[in-house]
């Protein structure tokens, strides 16, 4: 489905983090709808390097790009030479900046800030030189302990959320300069959908609960999960927001969610219904208290007004559409069939 009247054919589009979950979905959106567009995927593909928490430093995976016909570049957004090569080798019309350390449990603050904050400003300078509209991934993690999910009420409670606030601050600074390009930051809430599998244990609880059920296990939820409410958003609505952000009525920072908070209990209930599996539920203590958001619900009034964004998928609709992909990858990657 095309979400805008813009003709992206014959345009050159950069997607950083393009081998990751959201970036790869954006890449295939352009390939499907605008086959004459030049799509450049730039990603720090995974290796065996891990952070102190044991998680991979990069989740970019070639399997997310199987069938992709565009340009693929392995590089690091914190490497000035890699960015300079992008700057002189192409003339971009649009930049989708999805690359980031998105693991909220990462404790290496120096790497977090270099990657998420400093590299963003470097890319923004390229966008300005190329006269390319910039669309970048912010996050609902910026709100942290806030009980008001509107821009200007951020209270991050981890380094990741802090880094995204700093990105948004950079955007606010540049928007005062009356630039010829648009800059849109999208505060993603809890995203789920195809191509997230390779995020491993940082993938959404939708796929993690589904795998527990498919293995015949009892889903493990944190105690009080019926009171842990999040704004879960299906990947198709994230794509919609990104495409509409290419031509905003106004540059700025916008929430991207459904505006409806749902519980983790709801996820398990919907999955059990769609998979026709009922293994009950097991409750465990939450080890992330202090770094954990117990409630998120996007206020999308300005997103609707300035991006003409309208969420299409309820939690039930999104999970139902996602189930065939979950089962397929489970059979291939988990069972090896």
Q: How far is CA 11 from CA 31, 39, 241, 247, in A?
A: 12, 8, 19, 14
Contact 59, 198 (CB under 8 A): yes
Contact 252, 176 (CB under 8 A): no
138 forms bridges with which residues in the sheet? 187
Which of these, 128, 121, 129, 119, lies nearest to 77 by C-alpha position? 119
- The residues carrying an active-site annotation are 160, 199
CA distance 203 to 195: 10
Using DSSP's 3-state secondary structure scheme, residue 134 falls into strand
- Cα three-residue angle 303-307-309, rounded to 5 degrees: 70
Type and span of the H or E element at 213: helix 205-214
Which of these, 101, 130, 104, lies nearest to 12 by C-alpha position? 130
């Amino acid at each position: 489905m095309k979400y805008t009247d813009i003709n992206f054919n014959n345009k050159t589009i950069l997607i950083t983090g393009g081998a990751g979950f959201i970036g790869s979905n954006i890449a295939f959106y352009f390939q499907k709808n605008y086959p004459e567009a030049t799509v450049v995927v730039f990603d720090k593909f995974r290796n065996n390097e891990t952070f102190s928490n044991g998680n991979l430093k990069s989740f970019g995976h070639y399997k997310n790009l199987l069938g992709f016909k565009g340009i693929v570049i392995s590089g690091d957004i914190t490497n000035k030479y890699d960015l300079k090569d992008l700057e002189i080798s192409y003339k971009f019309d649009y930049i989708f900046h999805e690359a980031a350390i998105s693991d909220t449990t990462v404790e290496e603050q120096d790497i977090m800030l270099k990657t998420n904050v400093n590299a963003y400003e470097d890319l923004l300078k390229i966008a300005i030189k190329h006269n390319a509209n910039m669309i970048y991934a912010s996050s609902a993690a910026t709100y942290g302990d806030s009980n008001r999910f509107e821009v200007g009420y951020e209270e991050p409670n981890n380094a990741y959320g802090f880094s995204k606030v700093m990105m948004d601050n950079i955007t606010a600074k540049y928007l005062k300069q009356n630039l010829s390009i648009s800059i849109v930051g999208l505060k993603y809430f809890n995203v789920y959908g195809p191509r997230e599998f390779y995020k491993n244990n940082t993938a959404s609880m939708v796929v993690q609960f589904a795998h527990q059920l498919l293995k015949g296990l009892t889903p493990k939820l944190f105690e009080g999960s019926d009171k842990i409410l999040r704004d879960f958003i299906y990947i198709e609505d994230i794509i919609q927001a990104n495409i509409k952000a290419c031509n905003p009525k106004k540059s700025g920072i916008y929430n991207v969610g459904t505006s409806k908070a749902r519980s983790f209990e709801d996820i398990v209930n919907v999955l059990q219904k769609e998979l026709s599996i009922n293994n009950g539920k097991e409750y465990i203590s939450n080890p992330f208290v202090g770094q954990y958001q117990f409630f998120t619900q996007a206020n999308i009034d300005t997103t609707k007004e300035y991006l003409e964004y309208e969420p299409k998928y309820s939690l039930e609709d999104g999970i139902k559409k996602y189930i065939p992909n979950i089962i397929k990858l489970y059979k291939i990657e988990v069972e090896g069939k």
